[in-house]
Amino acid sequence: MKIIYQHLPTVEIAGRKLVGRVLFGLLVLLSAAVGAAAGLILVYSTDLPQVEALERYRPSSVTELYDDHGRVIGNFALQRRVIATYDDYPPVLRDALTSIEDKDFYKHSGINLWRIAGAAYRDIESGGKVQGASTLTMQLARNLFLSPDRSFYRKMQESLLAIQIERRFTKPQIFTLYANQIFLGHGAYGFEAASEYYFSKPARQLKLEEAALLAGLPKAPQYYSPIMHPERAIKRRNLVLNAMLEDGKITAVQATDAKSKPIALNVQKDQNVLAPHYVEEIRRYLDAKYGADQVLEGGLRVYTSLDLDLQKAANHAVLDGLAAYERRHGWRGKLLNVIAEGQKLDKYQDPDWDEDAEVNSYTHALVVQVSPTGATIRFGQHTATLSPADIAWTKLKLPAIFRVGDIVYVKVLSLDPSAKSRVSLEEDSGTEGALVAIDNATGEIKAMVGGRDFNLSKFNRAAQALRQVGSSFKPYVYTAAIDQGASPDDTILDAPVIFQTASGPYLPHNYDDKFEGTITLRRALAQSRNIPALKLADRIGIKTVIDYAHRFGVTANIPTYLPVALGSAEITPLEQTSAFTVFPNDGVRVAPRYIIKVTDYEGRILEEDYSDIKDVVSSRTARIMTSMLREVVLHGTAMAAAKMPYPLAGKTGTTNDFTDAWFVGFSPSLTCGVWIGYDEKRSLGDKETGSRAALPIWMQFMTAALVGKDPGEFQPAPAPQGSAVARKVDTPDIAPGDGEGH
């Protein structure tokens, strides 16, 4: 048998060998690539954060303070953030954001390879680093877990994290995490906080042009800031609208209409400025109890006793009262000049201008031009002209008062964005004021003013300043007498008396240096006669009087010498006001309180503050004292308030040399205390008594606080029972010191 061998062509054999070698090489390369990729993944996943933490993750959020009607009065935060749900973000905002930042967000698995390839090509071509290819998920991974540098190493980690996030969370969850986390300029984190900051409304109410504006901010919040750079913001907004049009999210008509709209911001005011001293008191308390981290990042909800409407009335009353005082004492000048300080007019920004001016508010303004017929001033975005008539109260001419560059203090009378506003010239000589208003029945602090300007001084004169209370201390003297059996109709001799002291004879006198002879206790208190108060205190014992003051809630250490009866004791306005609530409250003291309730972010109650109640005096004594203090308003030193159509009572107070002026008074439902003075021991000026300096502020506030409300009625005083106290007060004991009150 003959076997015939058929030989293949040499070329065909060689080709097959080449194909085999190529395939083998490709397999080797593929194996190497897979190995390299696995190695890279192993390297880049080393120390990679665990995305499981996102299931428990909650970004830091704002601690908010609410008034007694649920209105926000302040907040504490490292980052201004309000946590929202997916449904809180309207479709128009979701569409705007995905169109400009990540068109395929709802389709990809965390990374977009085509975008990465395109961005990488552009970066290689330009010699830069990989950038501009991040999806929303990658941005979220970077913001939560990674550094902001743009290295290849970080980009790989970002991609790996994005893939893990996509595997564990739904698209709505990822979008919500991103939308709550991203920084959008001016301290706002997340689109809910940004919507409230830029437009003063929740995100769900955003219009198309507003949503597009916000969606354009993540790229560069400061560069595209609609506040600082409105032209750039408009261009960026229109770019977002074009992207939405290309994606079919909006029609051409909608895009054209939105592009034609100007930027209409309604920047949220800083709520902390309405009651800054009150808010600061709460911050100090929360810091001490919960720690600064929890307060600044934990998103606490603090429900306070403050009434925002009453607080606004208190602010106006104190500033108006200080302005009236300043005008009574004439122009004193001594204006700060920014040019003399080496500053330029066009660069100057006053701290007052951080907040928009409001009608009836007070602000500092810059003089930019002066002529015999007027001085042009600037405050924030507003201008106004002070005419000779506006400064008539100074009795000086314009060029004698102002120089270009001076900082003047004015009250805003009207605001007109398209024309000059109207202001009145005022003065700030350094006088300060404090006001506290407390609900009698609950002890809740409804309003608190701690000073003229929180920006200049954060010292809370309402809660921290120990000041001599003058004759507003006398009610403790009369309360002790009434409690021991005296009657308001008992008589006492208002006549010269000498008290022998260790340093020599003490000859006290009345405010008017006159004596009324035999008068009733009721009249003695109403007219704030010093001699009767000293005689009563001497007879009862000054230690007993001080004990009564402590029972009323006064915690200050009061020296045991007789002139304390005239008000040399130093007490804070808060304690003095709280003490007076005992009278209309039938002898019961309810401790003052700021906070009603505190909850955590999830709504769990962390604390509830219940009223601390204590019996101080009998209801009989309290009602008699209320009737006597009512006489102060009807026929005494506070008679200016008698014209008010409400049942009111109270007591004026003036210290030696007119350094402190007080009025503490009450209606059946509300007690308010007002103090006026300088921080240093300095006279307010001759005749600046409590009735002249403090009472008008009290009247303005109480008028606003009681208008339209049922004021109630005081409980009637019981019939007099006779007395053995007042008839025996003409024999003085030895007592040191001096004092005077009004």
Q: Can you give the pLDDT at residue 735?
A: 32
Q: Cα-flanking dihedrals φ and ψ of residue 269, to 5°?
A: -75, 155
- Does residue 631 come out as left (phi exceeding 0), alpha (psi in the -120 to 50 range) or beta? alpha
Comparing 6-20, 84-98, 552-566, 706-720, the range with the smallest average pLDDT is: 6-20
Q: Which residues are catalytic?
A: 101, 471
What secondary structure does DSSP assign to 98-139, as a single string? Answer: HHHH-TTTTTSSS--HHHHHHHHHHHHHHT--S-S---HHHH
CA 346 to chain centre: 29
The mean pLDDT of the chain is 87
pLDDT band at 595, cuts 50/70/90?
very high
Q: Are 591 and 634 in contact (CB under 8 A)?
A: no
CA distance 519 to 170: 85
Strand-pairing partners, residue 654, are 661
Q: Can you give the pLDDT at residue 146?
A: 56
CA distances from 294 to 24, 368, 598, 602 (A): 63, 46, 12, 14
pLDDT at residue 55 is higher than 80: no
Mean pLDDT in residue range 568-596? 97
pLDDT at residue 46 is higher than 60: no
Mean pLDDT in residue range 659-666? 98
Instruction: Compute the radius of gyration of the chain from its Cα atoms.
Output: 37
Query: pLDDT, tens digit, for every residue of 121-153?
Result: 455 455 544 445 688 888 888 877 655 555 555
Comparing 399-403, 450-454, 716-720, the range with the smallest average pLDDT is: 716-720
pLDDT at residue 120 is higher than 80: no
Q: Are 461 and 451 in contact (CB under 8 A)?
A: yes
pLDDT band at 1, cuts 50/70/90?
very low
Q: pLDDT higher for 441 or 601?
A: 441
Q: Can you give the pLDDT at residue 163?
A: 84
pLDDT band at 25, cuts 50/70/90?
low
pLDDT at residue 617 is higher than 80: yes
* Percent of the chain residues topping a pLDDT of 70: 84
pLDDT at residue 733 is higher than 50: no
Q: Strands 374-379 and 517-520, how do they pair?
A: unpaired
CA distance 386 to 210: 39
Q: In which element (H, E) is residue 29 found?
A: helix 10-45
Q: Can you give the pLDDT at residue 241?
A: 97
CA distance 554 to 581: 12
Comparing 377-386, 508-517, 712-721, 733-742, the range with the smallest average pLDDT is: 733-742
Q: Can you give the pLDDT at residue 68?
A: 96
Q: Can you give the pLDDT at residue 711?
A: 85
Nearest to 570 by CA among 666, 460, 681, 649: 681
pLDDT at residue 209 is higher than 70: yes
Q: Is 126 exposed, middle or buried (0-12, 13-18, 19+ CB in 10 A)?
A: exposed
Q: Can you give the pLDDT at residue 38?
A: 43
Mean pLDDT in residue range 559-584? 95
Q: Are 249 and 241 in contact (CB under 8 A)?
A: no
pLDDT band at 701, cuts 50/70/90?
very high
CA distance 406 to 350: 12
Q: Are 197 and 186 in contact (CB under 8 A)?
A: yes
Q: Can you give the pLDDT at residue 739?
A: 37
CA distance 665 to 703: 13
Query: pLDDT, tens digit, for every residue of 253-271?
Result: 999 999 999 999 988 877 7
The residue with tokens 């800054």 is 276
Q: pLDDT higher for 223 or 152?
A: 223
Q: Are 367 and 377 in contact (CB under 8 A)?
A: yes
CA distance 429 to 574: 25
Q: Can you give the pLDDT at residue 47?
A: 53
Q: Are 283 and 295 in contact (CB under 8 A)?
A: yes
Comparing 189-198, 204-213, 726-735, the range with the smallest average pLDDT is: 726-735
The answer to whether the Cα torsion of 452, 453, 459, 462 is positive or negative is: positive
Nearest to 179 by CA among 248, 102, 123, 120: 102
Q: Can you give the pLDDT at residue 333?
A: 83
Q: Can you give the pLDDT at residue 26?
A: 65
What is the distance in angstroms between the CA of the first residue and the CA of the last residue of the chain? 148
